[in-house]
Amino acid sequence: MEQFEIHRIISLNVFGHDVSFTNSSLMMIIALFLVTAFMVFAMRSRSLIPSRVQSLAEITYEYVAGIVKESLGEEGMKYFPWIFSIFIFILFLNFMSLLPGSFAVTSHIIVTFALAAMVWITATIIGFWKHGAGYLRLFVPHGVPLWLLVVIVPIELISYFIRPISHSVRLFANMMAGHTMLEVFAGFAVMLPWWGKIAPAGFMVAFTGLELLVAFLQALIFTVLTCIYLNDANNMHH
């Protein structure tokens, strides 16, 4: 399970706090570099007849833009650069974690929680900035009788404050489970004689393809939930 182990590369201590540069930090920097290189390389020519890389970048851009427009409307496009950055960053991290010998960044709850907390805090700030104290109406569903508010309001508050937890656990748990399954079957295949490796090897190839799909879907789900939380902050759906 070395894929999940954090190793210090450069030891750093600031005011008694360990802020060492680790393999997790390195993978995130590599992901940022690859994302930047991909977008710059894809859009360097902006040809009317796009290359395959340019087509892939444009399809990704338009796909996320469509999600933002559908969830937040035209007004929500001001958040698009931030939402697109989150999607492409998580997508690259998920894909990179499938490479042999790489570190699975999104299989660590501290990373996914940091991303989810950033989304939750941003949505909360936007909600209060746009609606002021009226944002608290989010916890009072429209049409609920007054006598029932004693029950509904605490439930709404709890559901709101656990959003970053559920948001982060969904990504973390799915990526961790998939990588663990691959590790288990790979270890099982190694112990078998050559004639017994065929079935596990075939399963691993198929499961790796499934993991590629899961990696994309988890980045997509994280992005969609981000749009939903921003929509709550902008439009007060209750």
Spans of all domains in the chain? 2-235
User: Would you say residue 238 has pLDDT above 50?
Assistant: no
**CA-to-CA separations, 2 to 16, 53, 97, in angstroms, rounded:** 28, 33, 12
Residue 178 is predicted with a pLDDT of 78
Of the pLDDT bands very low, low, confident and very high (cuts 50, 70, 90), residue 82 is very high
Of the pLDDT bands very low, low, confident and very high (cuts 50, 70, 90), residue 135 is confident
Residue 60 is predicted with a pLDDT of 92
Lowest mean pLDDT among 2-6, 102-106, 177-181: 2-6
Residue 53 is predicted with a pLDDT of 86
Asked if residue 168 lies in contact with residue 112, where contact means CB atoms within 8 angstroms, the answer is yes
Query: Read out DSSP for 134-181?
Result: GGGGGGS-TT--GGGHHHHHHHHHHHHHTHHHHHHHHHHHHHHHHHHH
Q: Taking residues 69-93, report their average pLDDT.
A: 92
Residue predicted with more confidence, 24 or 194: 24
Residue 103 is predicted with a pLDDT of 84
Residue 237 is predicted with a pLDDT of 57
Q: Taking residues 141-159, report their average pLDDT.
A: 83
